[in-house]
A and B are shown apart, each in its own frame.
Chain A
C-alpha cells in the first residue's frame, strides 16, 4: 500500500510521533519521583 491510497485513519496515525508519547515520559518520571521520595522519607 502506498502512502497515497492509505486510509485517512492510517494517515492520521502516522502523524503521531514515533518518539515515545509525552504521557509515557511524564508518567515514568512521576513514578520514579514518587518511589524516590518514598525511599528517601521512609528508608535509609
Chain B
C-alpha cells in the first residue's frame, strides 16, 4: 500500500503552491519542464473556470439532483398516488381489448382514442391496467402524445373503468417539469441548461486540477484520507466523490443536455450529419389501398394478437389509424435493457402485418440516444438503477456542498478568495485549449454566450480598477507576469465603446426577435439574453471602460506646457 505524506491542516492558497511544487519537481527533465510551463498558464485559468462554473451552477445542480431523485422514482410514486386507478385487480384477462376501449370511451363521449397500452406486468414495480389515451376534440399535440390527453385506466379482468389520470397530472410530467423548469414555464429552461453546461465544464476542469495530485501522490491520489481536518478534509471528500462519480455524472449531464433547447438543437444537427446514410426509420403506416372497415375498433384485438405473435416486448402501444387508408401500428416501448422499439403495421381488414420495423437495425446513434434517455430517467436497469441514480444525486449534492465548504475554509478574512483573473489568456492559452473552448461553445450555446457575458463583466471590473488608479497586476517577479500585463488604453477604449453601444441597444430595443418562432439556435439564444437588465450592465460597463481609458491616456506634460510660467 502506498504511504501517504499527510500534510498538516492549512488554509493556504494552494493553487499557486501546487504549481510551484510542480515546477520544482519538473526541473529534472524536459518533459516535466514543458508540463510545468503548461501548468503555469492553464492551471490558474482552469481553476478560475472551475471555481466560477461550480460556484454559480451549484445551487441549480443541487436542485436538479433533488428533483432528479423524485423523477427517478416516478413509477412508484404514480403507484402510491393512483394505486386504485392503475393497479389491476388480478392478472387475468377476461375482457376483450375492444370492449375495454369502449368502456373508456363511454366515460369521455365525443373524445377520440389516440392509442391504447394493454395491461401488463412491470418487473420491480406495480402491474398496470390497460391505459386508453383519450384525446379531447381540438386538442394540442404534445411530445409523443396529445399534450392535454387523459389516460383512462380499464381493469382487463373486470372491464371496469378504474379512473383516469390527466397527462399533465401524472408524476412523470410533474417531476419532469420540476426538474427542468421548476414548473415555471419555458422561462427558466435556459437556466437549467446553463447550469448543466457549466457543471460539465466543472467536471472536466476538476479532473485536470486533480491530475497533478495523481503525479505527486501516485495511487494514493485515488484514496480517501482519514484524519484530515479542515479544508484538507473537505478537499479530500470533494476529490474522492468527484473522481468516484465522474463517469456516471458525465453521462447524466451529456444525456440530459441532448434534450435541452439549445444544446439539443446542436445534437439534432450532429444527428442530421451522421444520418446522411439511408436509415431504417419508422415503419410506414400507409396502406397500399383503402381497406374498408380496417379502422373499426373491433380489429384492435387482432392487432394485439399480431403484436404478441411478433413477440413485441411489453409495454406495447397500439396507435389507432386515422382512417381506412392507414394501418394500425403496434410499437414496443420497452425502456429496460435491452431496450426495444420494434413495431408492426397491421391491415385491420385482413389482419395481415403489412410492414415491420426492427429496432436492432436502427442507426447506432439513435439506439445510443434512446438508451441514454432511459438511463437518465433511471429506467434502463429498473430498480437497481433507480437506487444508483438516487445515490448519485446524493453524491452530487455532497460534491457541491464540499466544494462550497472548501472555498469557505480557504476564504481570506473578509474576502471572496476567488481565483484571480488572467488578463491576456486568449492570446497566451494553448491552441488546443482554445479549440476545446470553441467546440464546447458551439455544442453548448448557453455556455458560449454566458462565457462571453462573463468576460465582459470581468473586463469591466478591471476597467473600474484602472479608473480608480488601482490596477492590480501580478508584478514583474510573478510567473504570470506575461499573462497579466497592465491593460493598454488604446485597444481597451475600442472594446469599451462596443460594449456600451451593445448595452444601449439592449436598453432601447428590448425583446428583439423574442416572438419569432423561426429563429435558428444562436439568434434564439441571443433573443433570450437580449434584455434590459443585461443592457444596463453592459452600458454601465462600457461607460466605465470609456471613462477609465479617458483618464489613463493622453500625452504627458502637454497641459504643463500650455500654462505660462
Contact residues of A with B, CB < 8 Å? 8-9, 12-19, 21-23, 25-26, 29-30, 33, 36-37, 39-44
Q: Knowing A40-B367, A40-B368 touch, does A17 contact B3 (C-beta < 8 A)? A: no
In the complex with contacts A16-B1, A21-B223, A41-B367, A26-B338 CB distance below 8 A: no
Q: Which residues of B contact A23 (CB under 8 A)?
A: 219, 222, 243
A43: B residues at CB distance < 8 A: 338, 360
**With A14-B226, A21-B222, A23-B219 known to touch, is A39 a contact of B243 (CB < 8 Å)?**
no
21 A-B residue pairs with CB within 8 Å: A12-B4, A13-B1, A13-B4, A15-B4, A15-B6, A16-B2, A16-B220, A16-B225, A17-B224, A17-B225, A19-B224, A21-B224, A26-B243, A29-B247, A36-B337, A40-B338, A40-B367, A42-B364, A44-B339, A44-B359, A44-B360
Residues from chain B with a CB closer than 8 A to the CB of A42 are 364
Q: How many residues of B contact A (CB 8 A)?
A: 34
> Given A12-B3, A15-B4, A43-B338, is A26 in contact with B246 using a C-beta cutoff of 8 Å?
yes
CA distance A21 to B226 in the complex (A): 12
Q: With A and B bound together, what is the CA distance between A8 and B367 in angstroms? A: 54
Whether the pair B224, A22 counts as a contact (CB closer than 8 A) is: yes
* B250 CB to nearest A CB, Å: 9
Chain A hits for B340, CB < 8 A: 44
Assembled-state Cα–Cα distance A36/B388 (Å): 15
Is B367's CB under 8 angstroms from A16's CB? no
Closest Cβ of chain B: how far from A22's Cβ, in Å? 4
Alpha-carbon gap, A40 to B14, bound state (A):
44
A30 to chain B, nearest CB (A): 5
Nearest chain B CB to A23 CB, angstrom units: 4
Main secondary structure of the interface of A (DSSP, over half): helix
Q: A37: which B residues are within 8 A, CB to CB?
A: 368
Smallest CB gap from B371: residue in A? A40
Cβ of B468 within 8 Å of any chain A Cβ, yes or no, is no
Q: Which residues of B contact A33 (CB under 8 A)?
A: 247-248, 251
Residue in chain B with minimal CB distance to A40: B371
**Chain B, residue nearest A37 (CB):** B368
Q: Is the CB of A16 within 8 A of B246?
A: no
Q: Collect the chain A residues with CB atoms within 8 Å of residue B338's CB.
A: 39-40, 43-44
Neighbouring A residues of B111 by C-beta, 8 Å: none
Q: Which chain B residue shows the least CB distance to A13?
A: B1
> Is B244 in the interface zone, CB < 8 Å from A?
yes
- CB contacts (< 8 Å) of B488 on chain A: these are none
Q: How far is the CB of A8 from chain B (nearest CB, A)?
A: 8
Distance in angstroms between the alpha carbons of A33 and B227 in the assembled complex: 33
B240 within 8 A of A: yes
Provide the residues of chain B in CB contact with A16, threshold 8 Å.
1-2, 4, 220, 223-226
